[in-house]
Amino acid sequence: MITPKLNLNSKKITPIRSLRHVRHAFLKTDSSLPRKAIEATKELINKTIAKELDVNTFSSSNTIRIADLGCSVGTNTLLAVKNIINAVQHKFQSQGNGTKLPEFQVFFNDQASNDLNHLFTSLPSEMQYLAAGVLGSFYRRLFPKNSLHFIHSSTAAHWLSRVPEEVEDKSSPAWNKGKVHYSNSRAEVIKAFEAQFAKDMDNFLKIRAQEIVHGELMVLILRGSLNGAPHANDYINKVYELLESSLTPMITSTKSTNSWSLPS
């Protein structure tokens, strides 16, 4: 792996003070992989909607409510939403209900720190739906019970709700001393991240089960690794390592290095 040489005296380098800085910089430049995930799952979503979506559950209001959780501020979410809406419309038309097409309401969700204004200024002028922004963590309730017909979340739910406590605890065997990520860390560190993921995913699914209309659909696209493959082999983890080795010299104190783990 090649570590880029950074000129720390350059005025162009902004000191990294928080994880949020890193996440924003990273997410702005890395939207092509998430886009590929959305493109790759389009066919699967089409087939699932054609086969499974129950069009009778929204007959009274004739409104279909879709949420994209962890939508970010780029245009990937617009593509995902467009694919879903086209698939639903196709289902209506194929059932001979072409004249009774429903209205669509789309909720774009991300953390409150994300600037959804940016996304809303990119909305197409000829929109097929009514759009609303819902800011806040998807690890808590965001929507009324039984209100959503289609929940979508792509390459977002692998972000944990928090860095596991032990990883930042100097007295714990899982202390991830001086590192910002778990790939290439000791087994105890990896186990702590896995346990946090299990807890978060359990919570995520329980909350979504309340929000979704009974029998309707959720598509979760998550990063994964081949069974048994070391985490360090994962392409994105290599990017995180590169980030780690590039950014660590910019962090001035050991204290801040250790309060700086990536929750992903």
Ligand X SMILES: C[S@@+](CC[C@H](N)C(=O)[O-])C[C@H]1O[C@@H](n2cnc3c(N)ncnc32)[C@H](O)[C@@H]1O
Burial class (CB in 10 A: 0-12, 13-18, 19+), 140: exposed
Q: What is the 3-state secondary structure (H, E, C) of 26-37?
A: HHHHCCHHHHHH
CB nearer to ligand X: give 219 or 232.
219
Distances (CA, A) of 125 to 71, 102, 128, 242: 19, 19, 9, 40
Q: How far is the CB of 138 from ligand X (least distance, A)?
A: 4
CB nearer to ligand X: give 58 or 129.
129
Name which of 169, 162, 148, 144 is nearest 200 in CA terms.
162
CB nearer to ligand X: give 137 or 259.
137
Q: How far is the CB of 173 from ligand X (least distance, A)?
A: 27
Q: How far is the CB of 160 from ligand X (least distance, A)?
A: 8
CB nearer to ligand X: give 64 or 157.
157
CB nearer to ligand X: give 124 or 173.
124
Name which of 152, 142, 33 is nearest 81 in CA terms.
152
Q: Which residues bind ligand X (CB under 6 A)?
A: 27, 31, 34, 38, 70-72, 74, 76-77, 109-111, 114, 137-139, 154-156, 159
CB nearer to ligand X: give 91 or 199.
199
Name which of 149, 101, 152, 105 is nearest 130 in CA terms.
105
Name which of 210, 220, 232 is nearest 37 in CA terms.
220
Q: For residue 79, what are the contacts with CB-CB under 8 A and spacing of at least 6?
A: 35, 38, 39
Q: How far is the CB of 255 from ligand X (least distance, A)?
A: 25
Contact between residue 187 and residue 195 where contact means Cβ atoms under 8 Å apart: no
Q: How far is the CB of 5 from ligand X (least distance, A)?
A: 27
Q: How far is the CB of 76 from ligand X (least distance, A)?
A: 3
